[in-house]
Amino acid sequence: MRSFVFAAVELPASSITRTVPLRVVRSYYRQFLPRFLRMRRVREETTYVFTFLGEFGYELFNWQGVVRKFAQQLPPSSEIVVAGRRDLEAFYERASRYVDISDFGPYRDSVAAGYFALPPDILRRHFPPSPRELAFDDELRSALIHFVSEKIDRTARRLEFIFSSQLAAYPGCIFGVDRHYYGRRGHPGRIYASQDFLRSNLFRRIEPDLGAKTAIEEKIGFELERPYVLVQTRRRSIGPQVGHAVPEQNLIEEVSRHIPTVVLSFNTGRLMDSSSEINHETGRAVSYHVQSFREQGCLIAHAKKCLFLSEGDLGSHTYLPPFMGKDVFVVASNEVFNLPSAPVEFWNKHVFTFGGQMIPWVAESLAESPARLRTAVADLVAR
């Protein structure tokens, strides 16, 4: 009933009062059309511009793989341009150009939520969406179209923009989601133990850019060929938070006693994004602040072991090593691993099929006693 009142009364009224442009109302109603009437054909002499607006984990599982699959049917006279977070070119090897939007003000000051970008004063996605959310999405997409259009060579090609906040269907490929149906069974967008997104994605091992190696070695004080453990933590101040704390300090100190250890800190600069920060002494471990995936990927590629910690829920940073063909030991609360949003076994079987797997370590077990922690670390180092 709430959904019906919004679509039939509130949304049209917001257009009359000019809270929401009429084009936004028309776009919202297009969600109710049968999918076959909304199917687009892949055209010649076209530049397709793909922009993901939401959370990084959804981009990894249900966007970059769709762009790759879409590229297989692209006519020679057309091209792909990707506009997104800084230094993610490695995920879009079929793009002719990558446009960095990390420092673009309207994007940087928005809040990532699923497939969407929310205004800075709204920290969680609503259903049905508020008129303010819809108007902000329209404003952000319009601003990005103008920003990206000025940076690319249009030549004689037509431009077609595809954003994650609106569903766009092509033969064999579905980009983004319908806001009205997102999260409901039978509709696109689900990445947790769902077969649907597997059919629309083509996953491959991500090859990192190793050009940052020399600069990293100068900062950490040793060559990356030397065996080391890479540690990354993760926190987020919004969204559902469950489970116990991870024995972060004790774990890092114990690991660093046995093998050189590099502890990453990371902050995208985007409003309310997840961050990796160390707020305590790290023993013998070396702290290193990465600027982007370019450095992060280089460190993952060279690490003997990856040990990634996550509090509150399962962070998207834990997906990166398996996408690069590397195992990652994931330390999180048992409650986190039992969430529907942490189908580790499903992902290991159906997505991470090029060498790397997620290996769960239950934080409560590690915290039982110092002896249990030492045994676990010894096993990690010996592998």
pLDDT tens digits for range 130-170? 899 999 999 999 999 999 999 987 666 899 999 999 999 99
Average pLDDT over residues 203-224: 95
Report the C-alpha gap between 51 and 72 in whole angstroms. 19
Strands 173-175 and 168-170: antiparallel
pLDDT at 334: 95
Q: Give the number of other CB atoms < 10 A from CB of residue 215.
A: 10
pLDDT higher than threshold 80 for residue 277? no
Least confident of 30-34, 208-212, 244-248, 306-310: 244-248
pLDDT at 243: 74
pLDDT at 146: 96
Average pLDDT over residues 286-314: 94
pLDDT at 218: 96
Cα 126 to the chain's mean position, in Å?
A: 20
pLDDT band at 240 (very low <50, low <70, confident <90, very high): low
Least confident of 121-135, 169-183, 210-224, 265-279: 265-279
Report the C-alpha gap between 41 and 177 in whole angstroms. 18
pLDDT at 242: 78
Residues of the chain with pLDDT > 90, as a percent, come to 75
Mean predicted lDDT score pLDDT of the chain: 92
Token pair for residue 374?
């030492």
Q: Where are the domains of the chain?
A: 2-200, 211-382
Q: Determine contact, residues 132/6, Cβ cutoff 8 Å.
A: no
Q: Amino acid letter at 213?
A: K
Q: Determine contact, residues 337/362, Cβ cutoff 8 Å.
A: yes
Report the C-alpha gap between 365 and 30 in whole angstroms. 50
Average pLDDT over residues 263-285: 81
Average pLDDT over residues 226-236: 90
pLDDT higher than threshold 80 for residue 238? no
Name the CATH code of domain 211-382 (choices 1.10.3470, 3.30.70, 3.40.50, 3.30.9).
Answer: 3.40.50
pLDDT higher than threshold 70 for residue 221? yes
pLDDT at 216: 96
pLDDT single digits (tens) 54-108 = 999 999 999 999 999 999 999 999 999 999 999 999 999 999 999 999 999 999 9
Place of tokens 């090609």: 157
Pick left, alpha or beta for residue 183 (phi over 0 → left; psi -120 to 50 → alpha; otherwise beta): left
Average pLDDT over residues 287-309: 95
pLDDT at 3: 79
pLDDT at 186: 83
pLDDT at 164: 98
pLDDT at 280: 61
Regarding predicted confidence, which is higher, 344 or 7? 344
Q: Is 18 exposed, middle or buried (0-12, 13-18, 19+ CB in 10 A)?
A: exposed
pLDDT at 91: 98
Report the C-alpha gap between 255 and 307 in whole angstroms. 10
Strands 328-332 and 305-309: parallel
Average pLDDT over residues 35-45: 93
pLDDT single digits (tens) 12-35 = 888 888 788 889 999 999 999 988
162-164-167-170 Cα dihedral, nearest 10 degrees:
50
pLDDT single digits (tens) 104-136 = 999 999 999 999 999 999 988 888 898 999 999
Q: What is the 3-state secondary structure (H, E, C) of the chain?
A: CHHHHHHHHHHHHHHHCCCCCHHHHHHHHHHHCCHHHHECCCCCCEEEEEECCCCHHHHHHHCHHHHHHHHCCCCCCCEEEEEECCCCHHHCCCCCEEEECCCCHHHHCCEEECCEEECCCCCCCCCCCCHHHHHHHHHHHHHHHHHHHCCCCCCCCEEEEEECCCCEEECCEEECCCCCCCCCCCCCCCCCCCCHHHHHCCCCCCCCCHHHHHHHHHHHCCCCCCCCEEEECCECCCCCCECCCCCHHHHHHHHHHHCCEEEEEEECCCCCCCEECCCCCCCCCEEEEECCHHHHHHHHHHCCEEEEECCECCCHHHHHHHHCCCCEEEEECHHHHCCCCCCHHHHHHHCCCCCCCEEEEEHHHHCCCHHHHHHHHHHHHHC
Q: Give the number of other CB atoms < 10 A from CB of residue 77.
A: 11
